[in-house]
Structure 1
Amino acid sequence: MKKYLLTACLFALVSVAAFAQDEEEEPVKKGFDKSKLFFGGNFGLGFGSVSTLVNVSPQIGYRFNRYLAAGAGVNFIYSSYKYQWEGYKEQFGVAGLNIFGRVYPIDYIFLQVQPEANFTWVKYKFDDGRPDVKLDDKIVPSLLGGIGAAIPAGRGAFIVMAQYDLLQNERSPYGNRAFFNFGYNLGF
């Protein structure tokens, strides 16, 4: 009886392997394939009595294969915060460029590195009549490192990421803590 069971199992395994070889693989396209493009980025708005935030940072990427993707984007962030008890308002702006690279060690999970060059400006407005103070405009480098998940949905994927600025420049728009992004990539 054991011989027949072993023979049946071997026959089943060989049949599955033979069937898997009969399936046709998609032909590999050479050159640029626009179906591998994806679009995403960050978009955020927040308005309140003491604070304002506007973030428009689109990105475009290309999925080279199952394991690698890369792309580029622009950053625009404006925030203001009114320190009511201290009597002043801080305005902070960022405009910059970024590139990113992603490695997918397993399906739907990726590691990302994103170097950036951001032009920053800071201005303080005082309620008591003192003149406004404007810090020197400055180009601030950032190097974001993080891990994320791309959860397939429709014609794209929901993106959930945790990132951290590895360079920690004092005027980094990202501060000194990990931060989280949630979004959607079209054409994943």
Structure 2
Amino acid sequence: MQITMKKIFLVCFLLTSSFLLSQTTDKPQFWDKVQFGGGLGLSFSNNYTTISIAPSAIYNFNQYIAAGPGLSYLYAKNGSLKSNVFGVGLITLFNPTQNLQLSGEFEHLFITQKLGVDKSHFDYPSLYLGAAYRIGNFSAGLRYDVLYDSDKTIYASAFSPIIRFYF
């Protein structure tokens, strides 16, 4: 195995570049204000299964306001009805006090349902307004979908719980 000067130079350059870029400054960098989080869900009962995952990221503009994108996936099976739900969204969080968190979330869901051999595809938007009790990186509360339409949704109610973790 022959090591050329070009390979040695390339390795030295990459190591030096990463060292120089990793130096800290007094001013917070973009990634210092980003938090990652989301939720996981599992539910099992007689003839019913739900599995969900919803990762998201937020950028903290200051101690009161944060916003960012999110993705979601939900699999539900109820008897012979199977649903696959993919979603994209945007969340905005407002923390007026240390323990109160108000939120606005826009989410657009894309649903595929299969019942026997019949398959359907549809999508719908949701706009959630919520309030939660916050302790550190954890929030729990309730949100309401102001665009809720019982004829177009897969959810039983416009209300849903809030459980958030950000690290």
Do these two structures clear the TM 0.5 threshold for a shared fold by scoring above it?
yes
Alignment correspondent of 2:32: 35
Given that residues 38 and 185 in structure 1 are in contact (C-alpha distance below 8 angstroms), is that contact kept between their aligned partners in structure 2? yes
Q: What do residues 104-155 of structure 1 show as CA deviations (whole Å, max 9, x unaligned)?
A: 1212311111111111112212xxxxxx2222x1121111111112202xxx
Q: Return the alpha-carbon distance in structure 1 between the equivalents of residues 163 and 109 of structure 2.
A: 21
The SS at the match of 1:35 is: helix
Question: Aligned ranges for residues 163-174 of structure 1 at < 5 Å?
Answer: 163-169=143-149, 170-174=151-155
**Which runs of 5 or more residues in structure 2 are unaligned?**
1-25
Residues 1:182 and 2:163 aligned together:
yes
The SS at the match of 2:87 is: strand
Find the partner of 2:126 among 119, 142, 145.
142
TM-score by length of 1: 0.68
Residues 1:100 and 2:98 aligned together:
no
Largest Rg, 1 or 2: 1
Given that residues 131 and 141 in structure 2 are in contact (C-alpha distance below 8 angstroms), is that contact kept between their aligned partners in structure 1? yes
TM-score by length of 2: 0.76
Given that residues 146 and 158 in structure 2 are in contact (C-alpha distance below 8 angstroms), is that contact kept between their aligned partners in structure 1? no
Amino acid of the residue matched to residue 131 of structure 2?
Answer: I
Q: Give the CA deviation at 1:49.
A: 4.1
RMSD: 2.1
List 4+ stretches of structure 1 deviating above 4 A.
none
Find the partner of 1:109 among 100, 103, 111.
100
Amino acid of the residue matched to residue 166 of structure 1?
Answer: V
Question: Aligned ranges for residues 1-188 of structure 1 at < 5 Å?
Answer: 29=27, 32-82=29-79, 89-125=80-116, 132-135=117-120, 137-152=121-136, 157-169=137-149, 170-186=151-167
Instruction: Count the aligned residue pairs.
Output: 142
Q: What do residues 5-41 of structure 1 show as CA deviations (whole Å, max 9, x unaligned)?
A: xxxxxxxxxxxxxxxxxxxxxxx836x4322211111
**Which runs of 5 or more residues in structure 1 are unaligned?**
1-27, 83-88, 126-131
Q: Return the alpha-carbon distance in structure 1 between the equivalents of residues 163 and 145 of structure 2.
A: 17
Percent of aligned positions with the same letter in both sequences? 26
